[in-house]
Structure 1
Amino acid sequence: MASQSNGTNGQLYADENASITAEKQKSGVSKDVFVEDEAHQIQYKTLSWQFVSLLMIAEIVSNGMLSLPSALAVVGIVPAVILIVFLGIFGLYTAKLLVDFKLNHPSVHTMGDAGYIMFGPVARELLAFGTVAFAVFGSGSELLSSQQALSTLSNQGMCSMYLVIISGAICFLISLPRTLDRLAWMGLLSAAVITLAGFIAMIGAGDNPVPERSLTVTASSNFYDAFLAVTNPVRTFFSLRLITDRFFMLISEMRRPQDAMKAAWCLQGFATAFYAAFSIVVYVYIGNTVQSPALFSLPPAWSKATFGIALANFLFSSGLYTHTAAKLVFVRIFRHSEHIYSHTLLGWTVWIMLCFAGTSIAVILAIAVPIFSYLIGIAASLFAAWYTYGLAGFFWLHDVYHLKGGTDGIKRRPIGATLAVLTILAGAFICAAGTYVSIKLIVEAYKTGAVGRPFFC
């Protein structure tokens, strides 16, 4: 069978028995990570692009938006909104690079697989570890949001440590389905409730404006304070672009991977517009005293209503993050084996153990590590900066070099090459600056005594 053309427009490789290029020899396999066969008991390629967009919205438009209004108080409305819109557009561009790379390399299931194709086995292990670590950290972050919601609803009537454990048990059950289509309808509900929660919060802020509030349209600030402020929207778009790694997994389970950009357009358009609207409305009515999360700035009744609605999204997002970490390890262990496609005892035992381990680690981090929230910032800076931006530039350079004529192919595309290099530099800058700010925050927290104790209510 003759190999198909493998251009950057996303045409698929034919199969691993076709004419083998040097790159295929390096990557080991070229066939799709999930093979379609009606005889398989477990079918993976079942998602439509609509449900992919809902799953991403459910995971991304979550507690991230709640910290955005506070950024406006530091850098001002205009710079913050420009940043949100810019990152949304930039995220759409990098999503296109990711989709093209995935379609050119069907064997890619995670960022680790992509790293192996581009840089070799060391990159595979490093990027795979980063994906698992960030997914577990993301799960723990959502557990803390669930704990805040439950504490607010119960008027702090139960030890927060126990609330995290209860939330973890629910998230463990959510993570258990082996295929993402089993979570799709829950994703629809989750996307709906977080959207509704955002509108309720905006209504609550508008109905209870802060008297004599002060607003900042633009503000001058030093690098540390400014970058600290924009860290919130940047982290939000980091989560959005865990789409980079989450998106690889989601595309792998799509019926038509060619429709992946439709999901990206839907997500980026909705998230960018919703982030901007939510942050502006809440900030305009509350002003510079707005807290993070913003729901704590609402009157108690409105805060409880919003947290109560958003709780389902926090729990689902935590379970989805755990599912991501477990799926990466599971596929790495059993790729193309019967345990992937059949209901075997070993397969289900390992899967349940991985989900339990991911949830347990997230729970322990949330209740036993006083600086956990700061560690999330470090993880975002070290890994998500590259998943979000830097590696997307390498995707373009790699495929143009290998599939479009080597160095001459890159020279014939000066605009694309420039954008790719700028994308890589953006990832490097955010990685370095974000790590610096996060470490400085930890040092200051210890100096001021803001760090709590482990296993403390």
Structure 2
Amino acid sequence: MGHGRAAEGRFGGKYDGGYEESGAPPLAAYHDVDVFGREEGHQIIYKTLSWKMVSVLMIAEIVSNGMLSLPSSLAVVGIVPGLIIIIFLGIFATYTSWLLVKFKLRHPEVHSMGDAGYILFGPVGREVLAFGTIVFAVFATGGQLLAGQIALSALSGGRLCLMLYTGIFTIPTLIFSFPRTLDKLSWLSVPSVISILIAGIVGMIGASLHPAEDRFPLSVTKSSSFYLAFFSITNPVFSYAGHFLFFILISEMKHPQDAMKAAYVLQGFATTFYAVFAVVMYVYLGNSVASPAFSSLETKWAKAAYGIAIPNFLIAGSLYSHTAAKLLFTRFFRNSHHLYSHTVLGWSTWTILIVIMNALAFILAVAVPIFSYLIGIAASLFAAWYTYGLAGAFWLHDSYHDGDGVRTWRRKWVQSSLAIFTVLAGAFICVSGTYVSVRGITEAYRNGLVGEPFAC
């Protein structure tokens, strides 16, 4: 973590004049050196988001199709352990959000995890973390396309080829990801959040009115093998895996110092909604609850829930593909007028990037039979670090360089211990998640559960 000095040089070295105690520059200095700089006279204005709209974007991106797998997790580990995991991960994600926000305010030039990787590990870190962000964003887009495929198939009774449903869903996902600024997507995210909230409520009502006849006995606690238990808890783990977007979101805020307010709203809403939805759906649908849970509902209720959730699947997919394109676009044109002006080169490049990201997501979703397992591998390799592990490394880096090195770690031993625990937790999730995903692939092939590419 020896590259902090280079980043600090952009502020004139050690912060000994006019900077806050946290090491972050005051707001005026922040806007002088962040990725978009002073925007007076720019044709395209990026920094327009309020913390309220950022919270909406965060909820639209994180609270999505992943929650539909939570009831099945409770079926494997039981209600009490499942609830403990969901609530603990919500608290843990709030803590790591706080660490990420502090790091971003301390380093305004950070626009993505790639920029953060440069500060921690140099050029290699930048390329690895930027690559991981793009890969995970494209895979997450593909996951939303598959969710849209399931929703459209349920609504139409499966009359068309599944690949056609995916293609149909890809078109609006591409269109909604096209705006250059997140401000436009933030307004689209309002109905997205409303749709997933109402869809969840409709699903719970449908489950209560038509409970599964074989739902008993329900499991308060349940013992399982490490493989089954960890495979099931990857659902709640990765239901919080949206932190890789945080730097990009904060970079487009009018007042980035308010970013933690958005994170509190996100984690409060997500944790509460996840816990209630998982328990209610499991209690009424029992141990045979499907993943996604809506598929276990009575037909008309499944159609209603899926239909209402479609706007959320669309916008979440658009946010992911927008993120992948935005990272590369900003990397290409940083400090160039093409970033903030209506130029032919700028718009051509942006269009090509958006099309490529959505096309890659579509091809992966329909051409790779084990794609759902690959999403788990990508989440284990990258999202485990972006949401959990790296946050601890950010605190250790800044406290070392802003203070007295190792002496600061010893003096702040509680915070240091938490940061180290965060790094170790990220490593554990990464290794264990990769293991269960790879094992899941081998068992799927062994049991003949893997389909054909481009299958209907």
Paired residue for 1:439?
438
Match of 2:155 among 140, 153, 156: 153
User: For this pair of structures, how many residues does the alignment match?
Assistant: 441
Q: Is the 8 A contact 2:200 2:277 kept in 1?
A: yes
Contact between 2:73 and 2:232, CA under 8 Å: does it hold in 1?
yes
Residue 213 of structure 1: CA displacement?
Answer: 1.8
- State the match for 1:110 in structure 2: 112
The worse-fitting range, judged by mean Cα deviation, of 252-261 and 210-219 is 210-219
What CA distance in whole angstroms lies between the structure 2 residues aligned with 1:286 and 1:9? 51
What secondary structure is seen at the aligned counterpart in 2 of 1:210?
Answer: coil
| Aligned pair partner of 2:230 in 215, 227, 230 | 227
Unaligned runs of 5+ in 2: 1-11
Equivalent-residue separation in structure 2 for 1:15 and 1:257 (angstroms): 12
Please say which of residues 211-220 and 419-428 is displaced more in the overlay: 211-220
The reply to whether residue 67 of structure 1 matches residue 69 of structure 2 is: yes
Question: Is 2:423 the partner of 1:424?
Answer: yes
In 1, Cα distance between the equivalents of 2:168 and 2:92? Answer: 38
Q: How does 1:347-386 map to 2 (within 5 A)?
A: 347-386=346-385
For 1:82, which of 81, 84, 106 is the aligned residue?
84
- Which residue among 168, 171, 189 is the counterpart of 1:169? 171
Describe the shift of the 1:447–1:12 C-alpha distance in structure 2 as closer, same or farther (beyond 3 A).
Answer: farther
Q: Please give the root-mean-square deviation of Cα atoms over the aligned residues, in Å.
A: 1.5
Q: CA deviation at 1:212?
A: 4.5
* 1:36 CA drift (Å): 2.5
Which residue of the partner structure matches residue 185 of structure 1? Answer: 187
SS in 1 for 2:18: coil
Q: Is the 8 A contact 1:8 1:399 kept in 2?
A: no
Distance 2:339 2:52 in 1: 25
Structure 1 unaligned residues grouped into runs of 5+: 17-28
Deviation at 1:406, TM superposition (A): 1.4
Specify the alignment match of 1:218 in structure 2: 221
Give 1:21's aligned residue: none
The 1-side partners of 2:220 and 2:322 are apart by: 41
Amino acid paired to 1:83: I
SS of the residue 1:284 aligns to: helix
The amino acid across from 2:356 in the alignment is A
Q: Match for residue 342 of structure 1? A: 341
Q: Which runs of 4+ in 1 moved over 2 A?
A: 1-16
Q: CA 1:33 to 1:269, structure 2 compared with 1: closer, same or farther past 3 Å?
A: same
1:236 to 221, 239, 249: 239
* AA in 2 matched with 1:377: G
Cα distance in 2, alignment partners of residues 5 and 13 from structure 1: 10
1:268-305 CA distance string (max 9 Å, x none): 00000000000001111111111100001100000000
Secondary structure, in 3 states, of the residue corresponding to 1:452? coil
For the Cα contact (< 8 Å) 1:36–1:45, is it kept in 2? Answer: no
Question: What is the match of residue 299 of structure 1?
Answer: 298
Residues 421 and 317 of structure 1: CA distance in aligned 2, closer, same or farther (over 3 Å): same
CA apart distance, 1:6: 5.8
CA distance in 2, matches of 1:365, 1:154: 24
1:386-442 deviations in Å (ceiling 9; x for gaps) = 111110010000000011221111111000000000000000101010000000000
Instruction: Determine whether 1:315 maps to 2:329.
Output: no
Aligned to 2:58: 56
Would the aligned equivalents of 1:6 and 1:403 in 2 still touch at CA under 8 Å?
no
Residue type of the partner of 1:337?
A: S
Q: Is the alpha carbon distance of 1:212 and 1:149 closer, same or farther for their aligned partners in structure 2, counting shifts above 3 Å?
A: closer
TM-score of the two chains, using structure 1 as the length reference: 0.94
Identity %: 58
1:4 CA drift (Å): 3.5
> Are 1:3 and 1:15, in contact at CA under 8 Å, matched by a contact in 2?
no
* Amino acid across the alignment from 1:371: I
Confirm whether residue 5 of structure 1 aligns to residue 19 of structure 2: yes
2:7 alignment partner in structure 1: none
1:348-386 CA-partner distances (Å, limit 9, x unpaired): 000000000000000000000011000000000011111
Residue 160 (structure 1) shift: 0.9
